[in-house]
Structure formats: C-alpha cells, structure tokens
Amino acid sequence: MTAMSGQVWVALISLGGVVLGGSLSYLVQHRTQLSAERAEQRRQQIAMSEARRAERLTLLERFIEVGAEAERSALSRPSEWDDTHDWFLVTQDVMNRLWVAERLIRLQFPLAVHDAARAYFLDLNRTVWEGLPDGESVRDHLEDNRLAFLDAAREVMS
C-alpha cells in the first residue's frame, strides 16, 4: 500500500505541476494579449491623432491662403466698381472660398480658434467691400485680427 501511496503522491505532484504550469502559461498568454491590444489601441490613437493634425494643418493652410488672396483683393480694390467689374467677379469668388474655409475652421477647431478666424474674416470682409479711410493701410488694419487668429491656431496645434 505504501508503494501505491507513493505512486499516488507522484501522480498528484505531477498533476499539480501540469496544472500550475498550465495556469502560468495561461496567465502569461493573457497578459501578452492584453498588452498587444493596448499597444494596438495606442497605435490607432496616434494614427488618428496624426491624421486629425494633418487635416487641421490643411484647413489652416487653406484659410491662410484664401485670406491672403482676399487681402490682395482689398489692396487692389478700385475706387469705383460694379457687379460686372472683373475685380468684383474675382473678389466675390475669393470671399466665397474664404467664407467656406472659415466655416470649416469652426468644424475642426475649438471655438477660440474659430472666434479669432471669424473676427479676421469679418474685418477682412468689411475691408474688401467697404474699403478703408484714405491713408489707412490694409495690412496694418488687419494685423491684429490676423495675428490673434494665428496665435490661437498655434496654441491648439502645439
């Protein structure tokens, strides 16, 4: 009976080793899988963040580019024009594109950035269509709102 009892102990110890080894193997595999899933989520978040940043940069570039076109229109504003004048036709297209770009800024950026873009747009729109008093510089008149917009955008993009 002692021989049988020794064999039972050996079998139980062997079975215990198998159970312990299997449990440890399961835990290691489970932790590895969780770690891999977290790493994949981080990669996806980073990729999404980079894509959003690229999209925002594209929108900023578009708004700045069209804003510069509108400023050039304000600088070249003739003293007299009507709705058939070449300047009006070109400027109307530019201002429509600037309006769309300003709305896209609202969709993609916090309100502080949009508010600054909106102030710049409204000031530029008035300058283009109504002009400025004699002796006042378009560039100097728009400088504060332009810089406020650029500063707000830089703050968000940092």
Predicted confidence at residue 2, as pLDDT, reads: 67
Structure-token pair, residue 87: 């300047």
Percentage above 90 pLDDT, the chain: 75
Number of alpha helices (DSSP H) and beta strands (DSSP E) in the chain: 4, 0
* CA 89 to the chain's CA centroid: 33
> Which has more pLDDT, 1 or 3?
3
Which CA distances in Å does 94 have to 24, 68, 88, 98? 68, 10, 10, 6
Query: Over 70: is that where the pLDDT of 1 sits?
Result: no
Query: Over 70: is that where the pLDDT of 59 sits?
Result: yes
Mean pLDDT for all residues in the chain? 93
Distance CA 108, CA 114 (A): 9
Coil/strand/helix, residue 77: coil
Query: Over 90: is that where the pLDDT of 145 sits?
Result: yes
The answer to whether the beta carbons of residues 138 and 132 sit under 8 Å apart is yes
Which CA distances in Å does 78 have to 8, 67, 92? 106, 19, 14
CA dihedral defined by 103, 107, 111, 113, rounded to 10 degrees? -70
Q: Residue 98's closest CA among 123, 128, 120, 67?
A: 67
Q: Average of pLDDT values for 126-137?
A: 91
Q: Residue 7 — pLDDT band, cuts 50, 70, 90? A: confident
Instruction: Show the beta-strand stretches assigned E in the chain.
Output: none
Q: Residue 20 — pLDDT band, cuts 50, 70, 90? A: confident
Distance CA 25, CA 42 (A): 26
pLDDT, tens only, 65-100: 999 999 999 999 998 999 999 999 999 999 999 999
